[in-house]
Structure 1
Amino acid sequence: MAVGWKPLLPLIAVSALFIYEEWVSSPSCKRVPSPNLHGHEPNQDHPDDLKVMMVANLLLLGSEAGYFNLLFRDYYLSRFFTNSFRTLKPDMLLVLGDISARGYKLPNSKYISVIHQFQRVVGPFLGLPLHVVLGDRDIGECDKLSSDLVSWVSGRFPGLDSAGCGAFEIGNVSFVSLNAVALLCGNNELRFSVEKVVESESMDFQMGSELEGMDENGRVRKKVYEFGWRENAMSSGSGPVLLLHFPLSQTVAAANYDRSRSSSILDGRGPVGTGPYNLLHKLPPNATEYIFQALKPRIVFSAHTQEFHDHFHPDGTREVTVPAMTWNARDDPGFVVAIFRRNKGEVSVSYCSLARESHVLIAYVTLLILLVPMMVFPSTPNLRCLTQS
């Protein structure tokens, strides 16, 4: 009787593995306190809130992926997306760059395999509004930046113009995404194109301050008129949600800024310097100041560092850096969920962590150690009985 249940051990182990996989591929999210809300952040979400899941640095390999990536890492990445979709129920997916690990090095025929892999991985999110920001691994650094490649890649994702920028509105929240790679590249044709987008969006938002009642759908109607470029008189935080791959510089000074707060806001690592891709991979101070002046962003979401950061710039603008969501970049991937409250002012941010690759591998190895003796010596009890007889 003691050995009657032993043939069931493999079935029990496999069932336990399925339960473990379901548990380990579900995100654990924790809301990040915002000092701007002064402890008045809502405890419950409202149906009219806009919930956006933000990921970055997927670093997909497409047809160049090996078996370990295809059968293990990509499998779990797909489960991460599926379970996050089911449990969080977001309204939109934003990808803040570096979908590809080395897309800029690939011919178009192989780049297509990366895009197809991306579509397989995100799974159910393809039914939601989707926006992709271009990263340096997608289109190359300054010495490899090609207008033709940027235009080709941009054409494969919704809402991007030929310069890799985009502007859209969803749920009464306005978003602007910029090709931050081009902003690092000096007298580059793409940089001029990105600056034109910034100026155009700046004028649109300045015109938006002149209201002309409501339209038949209950939305604000803007006066339509033309004017030349002028100093932006909008207040800080009144502009769009800004989406970038590279973080902004944290060294831009602001008038009337209380220097006593600098230790809690700045990370103490100094300016990025004048050359492209110098050490910290952030936009230089002049580009950051230009963006702040022109767009007055409500909040900024960036990526590239592969780690989560949440800080406030001297003018009070909040910037959230989204971590990498892949084991190809770090042992403990994660992502961000931002909830734009229906009152058009508050933004709640949650950091969501995922399972460590090392923990999952340890679980597999442990299961293998337990199962191998059962498979190699399944008839040991019967042999012992025959020996005794």
Structure 2
Amino acid sequence: MGLAWRGWGRQGFRLLERSLLLWKLMAVIFAALLFCEFLIYYLVIFWCGWPEVAAPARGGEQAPVLRAMVLADTHLLGEVQGHWLDKLRREWQMERAFQTALWMLQPEVVFILGDIFDEGKWSSPQAWAEDVGRFQKMFRHPAHVQLKVVAGNHDIGFHYWVTSYKVKRFEKAFGSERLFSRKGVNFVMVNSVAMEGDGCNICAAAEAELLEISRQLNCSREVRGASLCGAGRRLPPSAPILLQHYPLYRASDANCSGPDAAPPEERSIPFKERYDALSLEASQKLLWWFGPRLVLSGHTHSACEVLHGAGTPELSVPSFSWRNRNNPSFIMASLTSRDYALSKCFLPQENTVLATYCGVAGLLTGLVLAHSGWLALPFLSGRTVLRTHKAR
């Protein structure tokens, strides 16, 4: 009878050990998932802060500051080329990053500089509706935060793929607004795909619309009552900020630098006009029409700072998707009617997340092997020696 009870006791102890091991494994897995899929975004974005706009000259009043978050090239995968696991992973990463940034940084307006989707250029009506629904879920925002989107070549197609139908369905989903003003800051949202300059119907309509916006902006800086401006509503008398998908003309990324610039071996590759960047002619038109104080663009998936003409700065915003970069980021802009300040907020590097998961996998393997007696972990072998010493 005593032997039977002893046998049952040993078996119960083994079951208890296995249960404890299972709980340990589950706790480690849960902690890894919690850190890599939630907490890491808070820990990284916590270090991002809004840049300070230079104080006005003595005696001047501080203009209201608009806080804008700018990102580009989210490339939500479609039904044709997007593997379901890749789609699930990338969209989860972008959703967590965006929602965390929205909650922690509290921007007033968010701009996305094109290529929202990866397959908008050929997606069917049903696929388009599904993609828009996923986008609205991922980039949901409070009513007081405005979200503005410009079209990219993956949204409506390259120039010779663009149709009126694709443009209209994009505008139906995201709005057709080209001029946006808030807190005295003017933004011009350019459909850069339509800046081909060949006189096509879509291009001609886009240029005519931009010319009218240029007239309104020029009138805002003139004395009221000027002959060509009339007495209508005036825009804030502030030089605009251009928002577009294609960057203005540049020969290459050879002069770009920084941790999120293009890889060194790619920087000297010449850009193709109307494909990698706008043509020189179209770029000169935009600079002449608007005299912008800042240009923000996307498309290249990498960062670059360029000076155009008489010193107009352009910043190419890197891709927001881990599918395109190991170190995605977004721009934080503090804007007034006279000045601006920019800073960059980097998101968690995918290498860090993968290294964390690999480390956790190694720890789990060690725990299982130690429990099986195939591996003596240092703290376990120390306990064994101590027990042996006491037994003597």
Q: TM-score, normalised by structure 1?
A: 0.75
Q: Provide the identity percentage.
A: 25
Using the TM superposition, give the Cα deviation of residue 6 of structure 1 relative to its aligned residue in structure 2, in angstroms: 5.2
Question: RMSD between aligned alpha carbons?
Answer: 3.7
Q: Which residue of 2 aligns with 1:369?
A: 362
For 1:121 and 1:346, how far apart are their aligned partners in 2?
A: 32
**Alignment partner, residue 231 of structure 1:** none
| Counterparts of 1:156 and 1:73, CA distance in 2 | 22
Partner SS state of residue 139, structure 2: helix
The alignment's TM-score, normalised by the length of structure 2, stands at 0.74
The aligned counterpart of 2:274 is 276
Q: Partner of 2:219 in structure 1?
A: 207
Partner of 2:84: 67
Alignment correspondent of 2:203: 191
For this pair of structures, how many residues does the alignment match?
Answer: 334
The reply to whether residue 306 of structure 1 matches residue 304 of structure 2 is no
Does the 8 Å contact 2:78/2:118 carry over to 1?
no
Contact 2:50 2:333 in 1 (8 A): no
User: What is the correspondence of 1:1-389 to structure 2 with a 5 Å cutoff?
Assistant: 8-10=23-25, 11-26=27-42, 27-28=44-45, 48-63=64-79, 65-124=82-141, 128-158=145-175, 160=176, 166-184=178-196, 186-212=198-224, 223=225, 226=228, 239-250=239-250, 276-277=274-275, 281-341=276-336, 344-372=337-365, 374=367
User: In the alignment, what sits opposite 1:232?
Assistant: none
Instruction: Please say if residues 214 and 289 of structure 2, whose CA atoms lie closer than 8 Å, have aligned partners that are also in contact.
Output: yes
> Which residues of structure 1 form unaligned runs of 5+?
213-222, 229-236, 252-262
Q: Write out per-residue CA displacement over residues 193-251 of structure 1, whole angstroms, 9 at most, x where no aligned residue.
A: 12112210111012112345xxxxxxxxxx586469xxxxxxxx952111110111247
Opposite residue 187 of structure 2, the aligned amino acid is F
Does the 8 A contact of 2:51 with 2:332 survive in 1?
Answer: no
| Structure 2 stretches lacking a partner, 5+ long | 1-12, 231-236, 375-383, 385-392
Q: CA deviation at 1:67?
A: 3.2
Pick closer, same or farther for the CA change 1:264–1:116 going to 2, 3 Å: closer
Following superposition, the deviation at residue 337 of structure 1 comes to 1.0
CA distance in 2, matches of 1:306, 1:319: 15
Secondary structure class of the residue paired with 1:351 = strand
Bigger Cα Rg = 2
SS of 1:130's partner is strand
- CA-to-aligned-CA distance 1:171-192 (integer Å, 9 cap, x gap): 2211111110111252321111
Higher helix share: 2
Partner Cα distance (1:191, 1:149) in 2:
14
Q: Is the 8 A contact 1:119 1:126 kept in 2?
A: no
AA aligned opposite 2:246: F
Question: Offset at 1:122?
Answer: 1.4
Cα distance, 1:25 vs. partner?
1.9
Residue 70 to residue 282, structure 1, CA distance change in 2 (3 Å): closer
| Displacement of 1:379 | 7.4
